[in-house]
Each structure stands twice: as C-alpha cells, then as structure tokens.
Amino acid sequence: AQSVTQLDSHVSVSEGTPVLLRCNYSSSYSPSLFWYVQHPNKGLQLLLKYTSAATLVKGINGFEAEFKKSETSFHLTKPSAHMSDAAEYFCVVSDQNDKIIFGKGTRLHILP
Amino acid sequence: EAQVTQNPRYLITVTGKKLTVTCSQNMNHEYMSWYRQDPGLGLRQIYYSMNVEVTDKGDVPEGYKVSRKEKRNFPLILESPSPNQTSLYFCASSRTADMNTEAFFGQGTRLTVV
C-alpha cells in the first residue's frame, strides 16, 4: 500500500537561511511524487513533481526536491527562505492506479 | 483565467439541514475530485469523477454525495450534515486522472456544522 510521511508538522527557519522539509514514502511501484503549497486562506498550488525523469526536480519560487529511491525520500529544499514562503506544504504520492495520497502537511514558519 | 471556483467560501449550518457546495472549472478538465482537510490529517479524498456521469468513492465518502451531470460542475452534497463534517473542503480538477497532469484546486469552503 502507498503511504507518505512528512516527518515534521512544523518547521521554523530564519529568513535567508536554508529550508528543508522532509518527506518519506512507501510504494510497491515507481511512484509519482509531488509537493504542493497552501498559503493561508488559499487553495493548493503545485510546487514541483517527480515522474521518473531527472531525480533532482526544480519547482517554482526557488524550491527543489531530490528523489532518492534508496532512502525512499523526496525532501523539499530551498537555499534561502523568504517571508513569503510561510505556508503549509504537502507531500503527495500517486501509485500506478493514479490513486493519490496526501501527507499530513508541514507548516513552515519564517522568522525575521 | 483558468480556475476552479467553489461556493460558498464559508458556511455555518445546523445538524441535519441539507446543503450543497458547488464546484465549477473552466478548463474542460475530465477529472474532478473533492477533499476534506482536517488538522493533522492532511487532505483526504471524499469522491472523485473521471468524466461526466462517472463518479467513485474516495477514502472518506460516508455522509457525502456527488453528481457529475456536466463536465464543468461537480457539486458536493451533504444530505444530513453532522458536526464531524465540520472541515475545510477543497475541490480539484485536472485534465485527466493521470497524476502527471497538474491538479488545480479551488480556494476552499470552510464548513461548520453546529
């Protein structure tokens, strides 16, 4: 069965410092993996997706994620946090039947 | 502008009073779905639709109904709402059910059942 685990429910970083949001998945097949962002009172927006092409995926707003099959991870990173990055982030996995599963979310706080 | 529109954005209702949350997309997408978002649980799929007149249960369908009479609309119906359905609801659409295509989300409907 597919599952996705976001290891931190809250992450706080100072503005200008790196961001790391962790995501681990389990899947019997080669999954597709996504990160979505949800700003306060807004819907979800796709940040980036991995679909078995390059393992390092670049997304919008300077975010990127690396698919590591050996570690079953798909962590989201950004070199330098900006205040506008404060939001909730969801890691998502889909299986070969296109059933999608959301992680429980990580709320990112940016400290001035 | 490509968008998914949900109405209402906020709703407070009483237990047992039937309600409908509407969802409309202007992108001619085949696939539409409904999610509920609860603290600490992420998003859970309620129902989805692969195309007109084709709907199926997601992970938490109990207490909900949907219909897909036309491609652009996918209303969520709560026949007899209960307090445990208090939640934030999102409608989403994508060109196909293939997750390689991007999903577009509405802005959410915050429902409170008292």
Instruction: Read off the pLDDT of residues B83-99 as tens digits, 9 standing for 90 and up.
Output: 999 999 999 998 877 65
Q: How far apart are CA B59 and CA B35, in angstroms?
A: 9
List CB contacts (< 8 A) between B102 and chain A: 46, 49
Using DSSP, state whether A50 is helix, strand or coil. strand
Backbone phi and psi for residue A69, each to the nearest 5 degrees, phi listed first: -65, -40
Q: How far apart are CA B59 and CA A28, in angstroms?
A: 19
Predicted confidence at residue B99, as pLDDT, reads 56
Q: How far apart are CA A47 and CA A37, in angstroms?
A: 6
Task: Locate the chain B residue with the closest alpha carbon to A5.
Answer: B42
Q: How far apart are CA A32 and CA B27, in angstroms?
A: 23
Q: List residues of chain A with CB under 8 Å from any CB of chain B.
A: 6, 9, 32, 34, 36, 41-46, 49, 51, 90, 94, 98, 100, 102-105
* DSSP code at position A29: S
- Both tokens of B11, joined, read 């709703």
Predicted confidence at residue A67, as pLDDT, reads 92
For residue B8, give the nearest of B68, B76, B57 by alpha carbon.
B76
Using DSSP, state whether B31 is helix, strand or coil. strand
Helix, strand, coil content of chain B in percent (nearest 5): 5, 50, 45
Closest CA–CA distance from residue B82 to any residue of chain A (Å): 23
From the CA atom positions of chain B, what is the Rg in Å? 13
Mutate to test the interface with A, among B21, B99, B102, B105 (most CBs of A within 10 A): B99
- Which residue among A42, A94, A103 sits closest to B99, beta carbon to beta carbon? A94
Using DSSP, state whether A89 is helix, strand or coil. strand
> Dihedral of the CA atoms B7, B9, B86, B2 (nearest 10)?
70
Q: How far apart are CA A46 and CA A33, in angstroms?
A: 11
- Taking residues A82-106, what's their average pLDDT? 86
State which residues of chain B have pLDDT below 70. 98-101
Using DSSP, state whether A53 is helix, strand or coil. coil
List CB contacts (< 8 A) between A100 and chain B: 45, 99
Predicted confidence at residue A96, as pLDDT, reads 64
Mutate to test the interface with B, among A34, A49, A102 (most CBs of B within 10 A): A102
pLDDT-derived band of residue A97, with 50, 70 and 90 as boundaries? low
| B102/A contact by beta carbon, under 8 A | yes
